[in-house]
Structure 1
């Protein structure tokens, strides 16, 4: 499928880090890992910079689900649980996403999340893009683009997907689950801010002790996050865990903590490796994350500061 891409000057303008407050939708496989819970709450607590318009449940398939549909449904329920704890069930709608991955290139998966994204995006003004923060398999977002390619001119996608461009492979969970969807987003020319996992977001490690000291006493949300972290591992001695997904929210809060460059969109091979072509369209690529600044901001936001 061919896409009508933005003129290069407009694309680069859209790829500039946002100034001021932005509206986002959050596409998340919330039950898959513990980092999604942190990211959802971080976004909702960042009202000075972020207005969360809706949440979409993304599919996932691993030991915590019996298939993509089950993973999506569990993520949907986890999102509802988080919003209930935060008293935001009425103000932030949640939509079920794809119940499978793309079966072929150019073939979207029907879902209420993808349809809602199309509707919200098409309602935006030319100079007021909707930021689509994706922290799971990119199926819902790719499906929406395939359903209505005109949204390419209405959105900016921030995706935690793949590994750093210098990494020997990019077989990362979010990216590798749906090759067709990942290629769609990388190839279609949508304004994309790519947040790599290994080599970049992998710096965002924390420990149970740190979560106990700076998160546990922050009301019901703090207790929920503490218990979620505590239960993720049976031995926390000398153990740390990466809270990958908060990187995307931190970029919107202060891009200076996550230095980035304009680069040509990489090519994704069928064996999940990057290759490069200097004739391709541009994306913004995050190359580093200041771990301390991000966690300091997260802990402050949880405290209501």
Structure 2
């Protein structure tokens, strides 16, 4: 039987450093399985040098994201566009990722659906796109997983601080921010994730093998909980923020900071969708 019908409520561009922490790919799978959003572009950004030499990592991340979409048998969009492997320079710079963002922002709003650019990594590709075509700033809302009360301590910010300052300094851009104080509380027990991946069909198996095959620096030690912070924006795309809390500043455009999101809602929805798809 078909699932109860869910109407789409937004179009989504998804940008992340897919070759970094694997929680980004969990977020991608969740977005891809969510009927409430329509993915119009997927782009891949650089990774921090802590994961090894950055050369080729954006393309490697694009390949991972594309492979996951194939495993999910969801081939639209069929191409994941890679950005550069170097941080934002402040000078106009062409990349497939920047051009994909620009094209999606310039496309007509299908069925009147608003456009949300979900970035759960460094803001490099977003900065490059805004520098090339400043007019697109009013065409989408940025949902960014990143930043903190002390920005220097937060991964997505310190991977490319120049990009973050440039993007967040754009006065024409609406931003919904999920800072570290919020996204780091989206956690799941490792045992629960392991059981889910083992029992959720081909996509679950793919994610299980990814998590078990991680090549991480020696200083990274795993505990009993896994942070799935990159899934935070699901409350404004594939789900609803009715159980979230946030503060707002400004009116045109609005700057919103999420102070709490519903971890149980996100995890239960992801587990159900992954099992149904499997």
Q: TM-score range by the shorter chain?
A: 0.7 to 0.9
In the other structure, the counterpart of 1:3 is none
Closer/same/farther in 2, CA of residues 103 and 295 from structure 1, 3 Å limit = same
Deviation at 1:257, TM superposition (A): 3.4
RMSD: 2.6
Identify the structure with the greater helix proportion.
Answer: 2
Secondary structure at the counterpart of residue 174 of structure 1: helix
Cα 1:236–1:32 shift into 2, 3 Å: closer
Pick from 94, 99, 110 the counterpart of residue 115 of structure 1: 99
Any stretches of 5+ residues in structure 2 without a counterpart?
1-6
1:291 matched to 2:272? The reply is no
Q: How does 1:155-304 map to 2 (within 5 A)?
A: 155-163=140-148, 167-189=149-171, 190-197=173-180, 199-232=181-214, 239-252=224-237, 253-263=239-249, 282-304=254-276
Counterpart check, 1:75 vs 2:61? yes
* Cα distance in 2, alignment partners of residues 221 and 259 from structure 1: 32
TM-score by length of 2: 0.86
User: What does residue 148 of structure 1 align with?
Assistant: 133
What displacement does 1:45 show? 0.5
Deviations 1:158-195 (A, max 9, x none): 111112xxx34443111112122101111102011111
- Deviation (angstroms), 1:264: 5.3
Query: Tell me, which stretches of 5 or more residues in structure 1 are unaligned?
Result: 1-18, 266-279
- Give the match's secondary structure for 1:33: coil
Q: TM-score with structure 1 length normalisation?
A: 0.79
Alpha-carbon distance in 1 for matches of 2:125, 2:70: 24
**Are residue 25 (structure 1) and residue 7 (structure 2) matched?**
no
**CA–CA distance in structure 2, aligned partners of residues 161 and 150 of structure 1:** 24
Q: CA deviation at 1:91?
A: 4.3
1:11 corresponds to: none
Change (3 A) 1:168 1:141: closer
Q: 1:290 to 1:27 in 2, by over 3 A?
A: same
Name the counterpart of 2:80. 94
2:68 and 2:109 map into 1 onto residues whose CA distance is: 31
Question: Match of 1:132, SS?
Answer: strand
**Once the 2 structures are TM-superposed, how far is the Cα of residue 99 of structure 1 from its aligned partner?**
2.9
Length, aligned pairs only: 265
Deviations 1:138-161 (A, max 9, x none): 111111111111101211111111
Specify which of 22, 29, 47 is matched with residue 60 of structure 1.
47
Deviations 1:96-149 (Å, cap 9, x if unpaired)? Answer: 112321123xx2332011112112211234964321111111111111111111
**CA–CA distance in 2 between the matches of 1:239 and 1:216?**
17
Task: Tell me the CA shift for residue 80 of structure 1.
Answer: 2.0
